[in-house]
Amino acid sequence: MQENKKMNIRKSTVVLTTFAVLMAAEVVLNLLEIHTGTIKINLAFIPVAVAAYLYGAFGGIAVYGLGDILGCLIHPVGAWYPPITITYALMGGIYGLLLKNSKSIVKTAFAIVINQWIVSLFITSLWISLLMYKPGTDGFFSYYITVIATMRLLPAAIMTAIQLIIIPVTLRALEKTGFAKRLVPFTDRGKRLRRQSADKI
């Protein structure tokens, strides 16, 4: 009983510490984004993908959603806009559903395409349109499609290419360096990873 309690405490400590580090990394990488005209590039998706790989949908949602809130508190660039945070959480959940315990290129590509070409391009563009639209000669739908969504086509294509390269490399590096089994030491996944390591010896 006492041993189980100690193990649960150690497990909770490892998980909470990992989440804290990944959220901090998400915030920092988001702050280091590159702006070039209408193109915005950042690497904040990396800690999200790692959380999704290690802990599934919950991990992705927590790091992307809470990371966005934390970033707004630390470095506000305007009023906090909850729909954007919800969208980030949705993207994190999609990563988690498809990337958990998997380095499959097909699943990775599927997650990236859904997030970039459906969630980001259309849903995030909708929230931006609702925030920025001012009644004028163009109707809202025209503004949403021809102005905001069209403007975000090139960034979506660039981020898709970047993520298709970086996410698979990152996940494979986690496995090869042994970080994955250290970050989930008391879960079934951790046990499986340790067995795989032992088989290679």
92: CATH? 1.10.1760.20
Residue 199 counted as domain residue:
no
Work out how many domains the chain is built from and give that number. Answer: 1
Residue 169 counted as domain residue:
yes
DSSP per residue, 53-101: HHHHHHHHHIIIIIHHHHHHHHS-SSS--HHHHHHHHHHHHHHHHHHTT
Are 61 and 73 contacting, i.e. CB atoms less than 8 angstroms apart? no
Q: What is the pTM of this model?
A: 0.85
Residue 64 counted as domain residue:
yes
Q: What is the pLDDT of residue 201?
A: 45
2-50: pLDDT as tens digits: 666 655 666 778 788 889 999 999 999 998 888 877 778 899 999 999 9
How many C-beta atoms lie closer than 10 Å to residue 182's C-beta?
14
Residue 200 counted as domain residue:
no
Nearest to 189 by CA among 197, 10, 111, 93: 197
* Helix/strand/coil percent split, the chain, to 5: 80, 5, 15
Residue 125 counted as domain residue:
yes
Residue 22 counted as domain residue:
yes
Residue 196 counted as domain residue:
no
119-135: pLDDT as tens digits: 999 999 999 999 999 88
Residue 154, CB half-sphere, CA atoms under 13 Å: how many? Answer: 7
Q: What is the pLDDT of residue 138?
A: 78
Residue 139 counted as domain residue:
yes
Give the range of the structural domain holding residue 23, as residue numbers without chain letter: 2-186
